[in-house]
C-alpha cells in the first residue's frame, strides 16, 4: 500500500525530514535551491485545494492506467518538467518556508480525503486516495533530491 499524506504517522514522518535540510544543501539533480524546493512542495497543496490556479497541461496522464502507474508504481524521473506556477520561484528563508509547508500540508490533510479537490494540471480529476499518495510521494521525491 502506498504511503499517504492522509495517514498522520506517515505525514509526520515525511514532514519531519524537512527539519534536517540546511540552507546550503545542494540538489542531487535539478536546478532549484533548497528554499525554492520547499516552496515548490508547498504550492501543490494550495492548488489541490483550489486556492491557486495552475494552467492545465495537455498530457496522456489523464488516462486512468497511466495516472495510476505514475502515482503508485513507476519511478519518477529526476528533473521532469513541472507546472510553470511551481517553478522559477524566489529565494526565501528556509525555516519560514518549512513552517509554511508544514502548516499547509497539515491544513490540507485536516480537511481529509473527502474534501473537494481542484483538477490536477497533468492528471485531471483525482480521488482523495490518489491525492494522498501523490502528495506524499512528491514530498519524498524532493527530500531525496536534497539527501533528506
Q: What ranges do the domains of the chain cover?
A: 8-145
Please list the pLDDT of the chain residue by residue as tens digits (148 residues).
799 999 999 999 999 999 999 999 999 999 999 999 999 999 999 999 999 999 999 989 999 999 999 999 999 989 887 888 998 889 999 999 999 999 999 999 999 999 999 999 999 999 999 999 999 999 999 999 999 9
What is the per-residue pLDDT for 111? 96
> Where are the alpha helices (H) located in 17-145, listed in sequence order?
34-48, 64-68, 94-110, 128-145
What is the per-residue pLDDT for 98? 98
Burial class (CB in 10 A: 0-12, 13-18, 19+), 129: middle
d(CA 30, CA 16): 23
CATH architecture label of 8-145 = Up-down Bundle (1.20)
Question: Helix 94-110 vs helix 8-16: angle between axes, to the nearest 10 degrees?
Answer: 170
CA 108, distance to chain mean position in Å, is 12
Whole-prediction pTM? 0.95
d(CA 123, CA 116): 16
Check: CB of residue 6 under 8 Å from CB of residue 109: yes
The length of the chain in residues reads 148
Amino acid at each position: 500500500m502506498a504511503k499517504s499524506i492522509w495517514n498522520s504517522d506517515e505525514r509526520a514522518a515525511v514532514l519531519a525530514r524537512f527539519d534536517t535540510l540546511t540552507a546550503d544543501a545542494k540538489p542531487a539533480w535539478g536546478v532549484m535551491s533548497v528554499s525554492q524546493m520547499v516552496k515548490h512542495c508547498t504550492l501543490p497543496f494550495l492548488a489541490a485545494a483550489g486556492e491557486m490556479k495552475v494552467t492545465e497541461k495537455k498530457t496522456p496522464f489523464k488516462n486512468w492506467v497511466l495516472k495510476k502507474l505514475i502515482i503508485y508504481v513507476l519511478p519518477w524521473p529526476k528533473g521532469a518538467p513541472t507546472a510553470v506556477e511551481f517553478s522559477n520561484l524566489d529565494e526565501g528563508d528556509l525555516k519560514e518556508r518549512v513552517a509554511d509547508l508544514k502548516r499547509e500540508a497539515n491544513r490540507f490533510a485536516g480537511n481529509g480525503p473527502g474534501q473537494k479537490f481542484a483538477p490536477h494540471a497533468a492528471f485531471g480529476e483525482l480521488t482523495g486516495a490518489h491525492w494522498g499518495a501523490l502528495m506524499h510521494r512528491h514530498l519524498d521525491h524532493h527530500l531525496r533530491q536534497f539527501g533528506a
